[in-house]
Amino acid sequence: MSLLVVGSVAFDALESPYGKVDRTLGGAATYFAISASFFSPVNLVAIVGDDFTEKDERVLRGRGIDLEGLERAAGKTFFWAGRYSENLNERVTLATDLNVFAGFKPRLPEKYRSAKYVFLANIAPDLQRSVLHQVKGKPRLAALDTMNYWIERSNAELRETLRHVQVLIINDSETRQLSSEHNLLRAAKHIFRMGPSILVVKRGEHGAMMVDKHGVFSVPAFPLEEPHDPTGAGDSFAGGFMGYLAQAGRHEDAALRRAMVYGSVLGSFAVERFGLERLRTLKRPEINARARHFAKLTQFTL
Ligand code: AMP
C-alpha cells in the first residue's frame, strides 16, 4: 500500500560535538520518505529550488521514492541550521529560511489522490491540510507531525488541521506546549479532544510512548554508545512507524505496537551518523536484526 508524504525537503547546516556540515540534504519529508521506503512505496509532495541538483534527486530516487509530486521552483530550497549541545539533548535553531516553501501551493498528481496512508510531515499546517483535502475519500490512516515553530506561529491553522487526522506524532516538549499540560497522559486526553485518537510522543534517548483507547505502550530508544547527530530522528521514527503500517495494511493494537518498534529502529539508525549518511547505506536485513534485538531488550518474565 503506498504512503503519501508532504513536508520539507531542505538543505541543513548541522553542528554537533562530533562535527559540522555547512550544507547537506535534509528536511522532514526526506528523512521520513527514506525511512518509510524500506517498508512501502512512497509518494513525495514537496518543493525545491533551482539549487537542488540531479545528485540530490538521486538520493531519493535511489530509494524508489516517487518524485512526480516534487515541484521545482525558481529560488532557493528551504534551509535550516541547528546546533546541538554537548550531550546532544538540546538543540538551538540558528536559521529557518522558508525560501521556495513561502509560496508553495501543493498540487497532488492524480495518481497520489487515492492514498490510503498519509503523513503530514513538519511544514506549515495550512499546507498539510491542503494536501489532505486533495486526497479522495477518507484515508485509512492520516498522521501529522509539527514543531514549536508552527505551534507558536500558526496555532489556529494547526488546530484546524488536527481535526482531520487520527495520529499525532510529536516530541515531548511539543506535546506539552500544544496541550498546556505537563503530564503526558493528561496532555494525551487534551489532544484527543482536538481530533487525533492516537498520540505518539517521541522522547529522544528515552524512547517513545503511544497513548490510545487501549492505554499506553512504550518502547525504549535503542542504546547506542556514540550517537553522532539527532537530526531527523523524529522523522525517521515516523517513517518507520507509518511505513510499517502501510505495509501491514492494518492498524490494530498489535500492528501499532510493532510500528512503534520499527519507528524506534529507524530513529536509532538515523542518529548513528551525520545527516542522511547512515540511512543511505542501510539495508532491510539490518532493520530486521535490530527489531529482533529490540524484542530481546524488552523481554522479561514475571
Ligand atoms: P527533526 O530533527 O526530526 O526535528 O527534523 C529535522 C529536519 O526538519 C531538518 O532536516 C530540517 O530541515 C527540518 N525542519 C526544521 N525546521 C523546520 C520547519 N520549521 N518546517 C519544516 N521543516 C523543518
What pLDDT digit, counting tens, does each position of 222-255 carry?
Answer: 999 989 999 999 999 999 999 999 999 999 999 9
Q: How confident is the model at residue 204 (pLDDT cuts 50, 70, 90)?
A: very high
Q: Using the atom order of ligand 1, give the atom closest to the CA of residue 30.
A: 10
- As a whole number, mean pLDDT of residues 188-194 equals 98
3-class DSSP state of 267:
helix
The predicted structure's pLDDT at residue 81: 97
- Choose which residue among 122, 131, 271 to substitute to test ligand 1 binding: the one with the highest number of ligand atoms within 8 A of its C-beta: 122
The reply to whether the predicted model has a pTM over 0.85 is: yes
35 lines ligand 1 (CB under 6 A): no
Nearest CA to ligand 1 atom 11: 27
Mapping DSSP onto H, E and C, the string for 96-118 reads EECHHHHHCCCCCCHHHCCCCEE
Q: How many angstroms separate the CA atoms of 123 and 101, rounded?
A: 9
Q: What per-residue confidence (pLDDT) applies to 112? A: 98
| Percent of the chain whose predicted confidence (pLDDT) is above 90 | 96
- pLDDT of 90 reads 87
pLDDT digits (tens, 9 = 90+) for 128-160: 999 999 999 999 999 999 999 999 999 999 999
Whether the per-residue pLDDT at 1 is higher than 90: the answer is: no
CA nearest ligand 1 atom 18, residue: 123
Please give the pLDDT value at position 89.
84
- Verify whether ligand 1 is closer than 6 Å to residue 28 (CB atom): yes
Indicate whether residue 80 lines ligand 1 (CB < 6 A).
Answer: yes
pLDDT of residue 88: 87
Residue count of the chain? 302
Q: How far apart are CA 15 and CA 206, in angstroms?
A: 22
- 237 vs 243: CA distance, rounded Å: 10
222 Cβ closer than 6 Å to some ligand 1 atom: no
Nearest residue (CA) to ligand 1, atom 6:
232
